Structure 1
Amino acid sequence: MYGKAQSYGGRLLSLLHNYRETDAQEAAENLRIIRDLMERSTKHSTFAGVSGVVAGSASILGCLVTRQLERQGVPLERLQVSFLGTWLSVIMIALLSDYFLTKRQARKVGKHILSRLGKQMLRALLPALGTGAILTLYFLKHGMLAQIYPVWAMTYGAAVCAVGLFSQREVTFLGIAFLVTGAFTFLFLPEQGLKMMALTFGGFHAVYGVGMGWKEKRAK
Structure 2
Amino acid sequence: MQEQNWAAENLQVIRTLMERAALYRRALAPIMTYVGLIGLAAALAGIVLQIGSASAFIGYWLCVAAVALAVVLLLSRRQALKSHEPFWSPPARRVARAMLPSLTAGLLIGLWFLVLSMKKPVPTPAIGMADDRVELVALAALWAIFYGCALHAAGFFASRGLRMFGWFFVAAGIGILFWLSLTHRADKLTVLWHHCHWLMGILFGLSQLAYGIYLFLTGEEPNES
TM-score bracket, shorter-length normalisation: 0.7 to 0.9
> Cα distance, 1:165 vs. partner?
1.1
Shift in alpha-carbon separation, 1:38–1:113, aligned structure 2, 3 A: farther
Q: Which residue of 2 aligns with 1:166?
A: 157
Contact 2:95–2:157 (Cα < 8 Å) also in 1: yes
Contact 1:156–1:175 (Cα < 8 Å) also in 2: yes
* Structure-2 separation of matches of 1:37 and 1:65: 40
Match of 1:184 among 161, 165, 175: 175
5+ residue gaps in structure 1?
A: 1-19
Structural mapping, 1:98-177, within 5 Å: 98-143=72-117, 144-177=135-168
Identity over the aligned pairs, expressed in percent? Answer: 29
Contact 2:58–2:110 (Cα < 8 Å) also in 1: no
Say how many residue pairs are matched: 190
Which amino acid in 2 is paired with 1:211? Y
* Structure-2 separation of matches of 1:201 and 1:43: 23
Shift in alpha-carbon separation, 1:156–1:122, aligned structure 2, 3 A: same
* Relative contact order, higher structure (CA 8 A, sep 6+): 2
Shift in alpha-carbon separation, 1:100–1:213, aligned structure 2, 3 A: farther
* Structure-2 separation of matches of 1:217 and 1:105: 17
5+ residue gaps in structure 2?
A: 118-134, 182-190
Q: Which residue of 2 aligns with 1:11?
A: none
Structure number with bigger Rg = 1
State the TM-score, normalizing by the size of structure 1: 0.72
Which amino acid in 2 is paired with 1:158? C
State the TM-score, normalizing by the size of structure 2: 0.71
Structural mapping, 1:1-220, within 5 Å: 22-23=2-3, 26=6, 29-30=9-10, 33-34=13-14, 36-38=16-18, 40-41=20-21, 43-67=23-47, 68-70=50-52, 79-80=54-55, 82-143=56-117, 144-189=135-180, 191=191, 193-216=196-219
Which amino acid in 2 is paired with 1:213? F
Higher helix residue share: 1
Shift in alpha-carbon separation, 1:151–1:141, aligned structure 2, 3 A: same
